[in-house]
């Protein structure tokens, strides 16, 4: 016996109701009425819409947005990569010299992770005095 052939249902009305007012099966119910916020839950979507509206207004020159300057000594991914490149040809070589896992350095260099305070301090020391850092870590 051949399996029954499934047919697609007729195109549904966008409101999710039959002409007689009965609700269509399989159409999700709206969580809240249009124009009203939900009583509970996250408002992340509303915040995103507001942020995009502000960005569009800024690009049109209608408003000025607050800017944040990154301090010159900040550990950006490019700076971390420059420090590593200055003392080692690869993340593996850097791992052998200073004991920082290659995967960790790759994450820092690609911006997936940010170094904590101790790691920032160690990277600054390696940047300024790589030989001293090697001597200190070799003991």
Long-range contact set of residues 112-120: C-beta below 8 Å, sequence gap at least 24 = 114/75, 115/75, 115/80, 120/75
Q: What is the mean pLDDT of residues 104-110?
A: 95
| Token pair 């996250």 in the structure block, residue | 42
Confidence of residue 139 (pLDDT cuts 50, 70, 90): low
CATH code of the domain occupying 77-138: 1.10.260.40
Quick one: which of 110, 112, 115 has its CA closest to 78?
A: 110
Residue ranges of the domains in the chain?
77-138
Q: What is the pLDDT of residues 30-88, one digit of tens each?
A: 555 555 555 566 777 888 888 888 889 889 999 888 887 767 668 899 999 999 999 99
What pLDDT score was predicted for residue 38? 52
Which stretch of 23-37, 57-71, 83-97, 123-137 has the lowest confidence by average pLDDT?
Answer: 23-37
Question: How much of the chain, in percent, has pLDDT values that exceed 70?
Answer: 66
- pTM of the predicted model as reported, rounded to 2 decimal places: 0.50
Average pLDDT, the chain: 80
- pLDDT-derived band at 20 (thresholds 50, 70, 90) equals low
Region 111-119: what's the mean pLDDT?
92
Q: How far apart are CA 101 and CA 108, in angstroms?
A: 11
């Amino acid at each position: 016996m051949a399996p029954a052939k499934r047919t697609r249902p007729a195109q549904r009305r966008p409101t999710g109701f039959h002409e007689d007012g009965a609700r269509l099966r399989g159409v999700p119910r709206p969580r809240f009425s249009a124009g009203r916020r939900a009583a509970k839950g996250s408002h992340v979507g509303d915040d995103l819409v507001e942020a995009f509206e502000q960005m569009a207004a800024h690009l049109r020159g209608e408003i000025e947005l607050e800017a944040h300057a990154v301090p010159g000594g900040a550990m950006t991914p490019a700076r971390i990569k420059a420090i590593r490149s200055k003392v080692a040809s690869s993340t593996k070589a850097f791992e052998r010299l200073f004991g920082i896992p290659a995967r960790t350095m790759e994450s820092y260099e690609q911006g997936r992770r940010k170094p904590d305070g101790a790691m920032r301090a160690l990277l600054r020391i390696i940047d300024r005095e790589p030989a001293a850092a090697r001597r200190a870590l070799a003991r």
